[in-house]
Structure 1
Amino acid sequence: MRWTGWAAAYALGLVALVLAGAWVWWQQEPQARGTEANALWARHQWVGEPHSDAEYRALGELLRRNRITDVFFHTGPFEADGTVPARKYRYARQLIAAVREYAPGVRAQAYLGQIRIVDGDGLIELDDPDVRAQVLKTDEVFLDLGFDGIHYDFEPIYPDDASFMTLMKATSELTRSRGKLLSVALEQQTLMDEAQPFYKALLPRGGRYHQPPRPTEEFLRDVAGLADQVAIMTYDVSLPTEALAGWHFARHTRTTLELIGDRTTVFMGVPTYRPLMGWAEDLPVALRGVRRGIDDLKRPPRRPFGVGVYADWTTGPDEWAHYRSAWLPRTAKTAGG
């Protein structure tokens, strides 16, 4: 019992040291400012429901004011056979016309995905060549409608998923032949590539969003060679203090930009919602953490980079105001502040 008490005290001491060290690190004000290459995940209603001209004008103003360059408009999800029923995006043409009129230069991308079948659990079987072929045909439908790119969000995707990479290669050929973009949302990188076998062996696979897998360095480099943009879903941190959550965003920003920032445009996902159980993750913490990560870079990436705001349906005026004041470059002309 005495040894148990000593072990517990030792463990608590280590935890206290980690928390104290993180708190001290967190006090330093970031020097880096944000960028004007930023993305936004947008709700399905923009393509699935009618909107007034005033609503489209307001959307355009929001995108311009906040220097959003790319919007991932939810247009799916895919059905199991790789199709998307036309009734789900019946107002897509009106949306695209409105974005071009009220937010010229902003790229509207078709946000498509589904729960990938892994070990028998999920909804879409990417291992099936016929399904992948139909996914490509569906992509063509959205490009024909006028979308500026295809944004994939299949989950879960493991680094050894050859079928997903086959689909990525085929989609890249399609989008580049049309002069369009291919972007993809991926989970945050694993802390150590060597831990990937433990994720696969010990944790459940398939059926749920935002669980491991975590991309390895090799996988991220391979994806970055095919995609024009990679959005890292850095949110859903579940850490109890602002300092720890901020460290999470800083670390992933630095490591991701160092790894693939010369190959592709990177968006670090930041949340505008409060997670369950009172965890410390929120937009101010995320933006501050991303800026600290930029501070740690030895040099800026060669390709554009920024943040991806998740999501338009959880972002209110206060969050947008903080985003402008804490993230956008001070030289950016943001109407109204």
Structure 2
Amino acid sequence: MRRAARWAGWAAAYVLGLIALVLSGAWVWWQDEPTARGTEVNALWARHQWVGEPHSDAEYRALGELLTRNRISDVYFHAGPFEADGTVPPSRYRYAGQLIQAVRKYAPGVRAQAYLGQIRTVDGHGVTDLDDPAVRERVLKADMALLDAGFDGIHYDFEPIYPDDTAFLTLMDRTRELTRARRRLLSVALEQPPLFDALQPVYKALIPRHGPVHYPPRPTGDFLRAIADRADQVAIMTYDVSLPTRSLAGWHYARHTRRTLELIGDRTTVFMGVPTYRPRLGWAEDLAVALRGVRRGIDDLDRPPKRPYGVGVYADWTTGPDEWARYRAIWLPSAIADSGR
């Protein structure tokens, strides 16, 4: 018993020592100020009310000024979600035409995309079954109606999407044919990939994909490249980081920024998702940590990607004036941030 207790004590001390080493190493790494600045190609997820409810001209003008001042190039206006059968009732986006006209008037050059998604059926659980060809056809018809309404692109956010989802790749292929024929954009939101593809079997072993509980839907490098070859833009949902210190949360953003841009930065426009909502109790994630982490990740690149990149702000309904000011100060190129315009 004494020997077992002694070994348990040494093991606990060893584990605590490793944790202390990781925390101290991350803290030291986090102290260096990033040199990279952000870009003028950035996205924003926007609430459904913009297409579902009427707004005054003053409200539209204020929206245009916000987008222009913060160098938002693409806005994903929530226009869904899809019904189970793949349709989107037109009543759901009855004010889309007014919105799109206002964006073109007050924020010329900003692309308004229709943000569409649903819980994807997996193993009989979920809402929309993309494995059904008839459902995919109705999704495409809904896309066509939204493009006819004037949207500059289609932005998909189906969850969960696993790296063996051939039905989703088929939908992406068909949607790309549609958007390119109309000279519009196809964009997609995906979960962050695992830092190492070898972790996928570990996820599968620990959390079997059966019933309503699934292992995390992390795209492998190959799957992420396959998506990038089909999409004009890929937004990585890097947020919701359950880490206890700012340095660890910042490392999360830095590491994912570097890996994602190395994987697909030459193939498509990339937006790294950053949050403006309040962090969960006890966790260190916030907008300042996320933006600084993304900049550190850009610093770590051997060379800049060939395609444009930026951040995707999640979301307009959680972003107040203070957060926008913080975003401009930390992220936008120095000349723009310093001018305040």
TM-score (norm 2): 0.96
1:251/1:293 contact within 8 Å kept: yes
For 1:262, what is the secondary structure of its paired residue? coil
Which amino acid letter does the alignment assign opposite residue 121 of structure 1? Answer: H
Map of 1:223-302 to 2, 5 A cutoff? Answer: 223-302=227-306
Determine which of 291, 301, 314 is the counterpart of 1:310. 314
Which amino acid letter does the alignment assign opposite residue 290 of structure 2? Answer: A
Unpaired runs of at least 5, structure 1? none
- Which stretch shifts more, 12-21 or 189-198? 189-198
For 1:277, what is the secondary structure of its paired residue? coil
Report what 1:332 is aligned to.
336
Distance in 2, Cα, partners of 1:334 & 1:129? 52
For 1:267, what is the secondary structure of its paired residue? strand
Distance in 2, Cα, partners of 1:334 & 1:9? 49
Distance in 1, Cα, partners of 2:30 & 2:42? 24
The 1:104–1:280 alpha-carbon spacing in structure 2 relative to 1, beyond 3 Å, is same
Determine which of 65, 88, 91 is the counterpart of 1:61. 65
Runs (4+) of structure 1 exceeding 3 A deviation are: 204-209, 333-337
**Deviation for aligned residue 1:278:** 2.6
For 1:193, what is the secondary structure of its paired residue? coil
1:111/1:150 contact within 8 Å kept: yes
Map of 1:128-277 to 2, 5 A cutoff? Answer: 128-203=132-207, 205=209, 212-277=216-281
| Identity rate, percent | 77
For 1:276, what is the secondary structure of its paired residue? coil
Report what 1:104 is aligned to.
108
Which amino acid letter does the alignment assign opposite residue 229 of structure 1? Answer: Q
CA RMSD of aligned residues (A): 1.4
2:195/2:256 contact within 8 Å kept: no
**Deviation for aligned residue 1:45:** 0.3
Which amino acid letter does the alignment assign opposite residue 270 of structure 1? Answer: V
Distance in 2, Cα, partners of 1:219 & 1:321? 36
Report what 1:73 is aligned to.
77
**Deviation for aligned residue 1:225:** 0.3
Aligned length, in residue pairs: 336
Distance in 2, Cα, partners of 1:112 & 1:182? 11
Report what 1:48 is aligned to.
52
2:120/2:128 contact within 8 Å kept: yes
The 1:24–1:308 alpha-carbon spacing in structure 2 relative to 1, beyond 3 Å, is same
For 1:68, what is the secondary structure of its paired residue? coil
**Deviation for aligned residue 1:192:** 1.6
Q: Deviations over 1:247-283 (max 9, x none)?
A: 0000000010011000000000000012322310000
Distance in 2, Cα, partners of 1:208 & 1:124? 17
The 1:335–1:26 alpha-carbon spacing in structure 2 relative to 1, beyond 3 Å, is closer
- Residue 319 in structure 1 maps to residue 323 in structure 2: yes
1:60/1:102 contact within 8 Å kept: yes
- Residue 88 in structure 1 maps to residue 92 in structure 2: yes
2:329/2:337 contact within 8 Å kept: no
Distance in 1, Cα, partners of 2:12 & 2:78? 48
For 1:278, what is the secondary structure of its paired residue? coil
Q: Deviations over 1:282-312 (max 9, x none)?
A: 0000000000000001110000000000000
- Which stretch shifts more, 184-193 or 227-236? 184-193
TM-score (norm 1): 0.97
